[in-house]
């Protein structure tokens, strides 16, 4: 899609802000859940989509950012609820937190293997949405050019897989601490198919600071957003995100949206609030 200059985008957003009607009362019925794709017989697709034949490095179609600035979201989003995720113009911009969630039936329609982005070994067996493959391929090429080895530990997770992941954290840390460390099923950005958990050889786990302790983590913190990948839970953001710092967790929102996010100075959740339609 064609994007206006940044100043034009700001003007468009301000006009949208002026034309929005008052938010519905808190007693209004919740919005209908997002349309859900049918659950496939298996998580791994038989083959990639026809539109992708290799590592083209072309810019993929970018998410549609229809700014709304409507104040219909709950104010206490750190409360654990299962409200349906609010509709947006593009699924890459869906807002998920401890209150808003995807249904158990939600599965992205265009899942493909990360091997289409040129990743190999275990990193190439993960699933992501086809729309981000070219940006991931360009980012992987940049890793190689910088002499770095970055590993994809996790990408798409189904609702059931996330439930199992959360329960493993409960067994390890107890329920209360697991809520800070992992999302309940439906609330995980991994179910969107646009989120990666990354690491590097020799880095040992989920309690260290990957962005500080490794050159690979530092590279991602500095350059990931240039390819559309934004750290969802940065240091010092727990009051806003309701989750602990995760320097390995990156969500693709598209290059233009990532640039707008950087310019806004907002955390990712607050930034995504702009694009819900309530």
Token digits for 37? 């794709």
Determine the pLDDT at residue 203: 85
83-278: in CATH 1.10.1370.40:
no
Q: Do 85 and 73 meet the contact criterion of CB atoms below 8 Å apart?
A: no
Q: Which residues of the chain have pLDDT under 50?
A: 1-58, 69
Identify any residues that bridge with 198 across adjacent strands, giving them in sequence order.
Answer: 152
pLDDT in tens, 56-87: 444 556 676 655 545 578 889 999 999 999 99
Token digits for 257? 């949206």
Show me where the domains of the chain are located: 83-278
What's the pTM? 0.75
Helix (H) or strand (E) holding 249: strand 246-252
Q: Which long-range contacts (CB under 8 A, 24 or more apart) does 69-73 make?
A: 69/13, 69/16, 69/17, 69/20, 69/274, 70/20, 70/23, 70/276, 70/277, 70/278, 71/23, 71/278, 72/23, 72/24, 72/276, 72/278, 73/100, 73/273, 73/276, 73/278
Determine the pLDDT at residue 28: 45
φ, ψ of residue 195 in degrees (nearest 5): -125, 140
């Amino acid at each position: 899609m064609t994007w206006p200059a940044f100043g034009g985008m700001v003007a468009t957003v301000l006009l949208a802000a002026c034309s929005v009607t008052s938010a519905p009362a808190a007693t209004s019925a919740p919005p209908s859940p997002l349309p859900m794709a049918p659950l496939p017989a298996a998580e791994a697709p038989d083959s990639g989509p026809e539109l992708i034949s290799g590592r083209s490095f072309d810019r993929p179609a970018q998410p549609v950012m229809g700014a709304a600035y409507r104040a219909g979201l709950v104010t206490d989003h750190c409360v654990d609820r299962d409200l349906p995720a609010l509709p947006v113009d593009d699924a890459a911009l869906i807002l998920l937190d401890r209150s808003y969630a995807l249904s158990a039936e939600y599965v992205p329609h265009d899942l493909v293997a990360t091997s289409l982005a040129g990743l190999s070994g275990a990193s190439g067996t993960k699933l992501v949405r086809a729309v981000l493959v070219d940006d991931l391929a360009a980012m992987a090429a940049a890793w190689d050019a910088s002499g770095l080895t970055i590993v994809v530990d996790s990408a798409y997770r189904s609702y059931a897989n996330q439930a199992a992941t959360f329960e493993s954290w409960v067994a390890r840390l107890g329920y209360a601490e697991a809520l800070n460390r992992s999302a309940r099923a439906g609330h995980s950005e991994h179910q969107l198919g646009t989120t990666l958990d990354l690491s590097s050889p020799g880095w040992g786990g989920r309690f260290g600071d990957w962005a500080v302790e490794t050159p690979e983590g530092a590279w991602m913190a500095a350059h990931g957003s240039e390819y559309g990948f934004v750290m969802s839970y940065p240091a010092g953001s727990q009051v806003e995100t309701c989750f602990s710092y995760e320097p390995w967790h990156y969500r693709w929102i598209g290059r233009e949206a990532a640039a707008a996010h950087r310019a806004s100075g907002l955390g990712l959740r607050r930034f995504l609030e702009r694009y819900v339609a309530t």
